[in-house]
Structure 1
Amino acid sequence: MRQKSGTGKAPAEQVIEDIRRATRKQYSPEEKIRILLEDLPSLRIDRTLGTYKSRRSLT
């Protein structure tokens, strides 16, 4: 029988990825707005790419 074509990841890596996905923090809309407003002064617009970049580290 043929196997299903998949991502080709080792089973352990797939389990770790599934756990991280399931335990990832879910932010409410209010929390997302608070984070954006908190970071707003440090954002700059990269006009060549049309994207926003933060000047501070997100660690």
Structure 2
Amino acid sequence: MSKGAAAEWNKKHKKHTISVSQNNNYYLPVSKYNFKIVKGKTSATKTFELTAPKNKQ
């Protein structure tokens, strides 16, 4: 994903923004996500949840 693509996503999706770091890693906010990948007539859907990191003491 390019920085331009991340900026375009952020314009359309105000609730969930994608952050791009200086080392070109992308960071998603804590939330539940559904991804669907389609190739031809075949598709796969995956649901996952990002949670806040646990504090290490």
Which TM-score applies when normalising by structure 1?
0.26
Q: Which has the higher contact order (CA 8 A, sep 6+)?
A: 2
Higher helix share: 1
Which TM-score applies when normalising by structure 2?
0.27
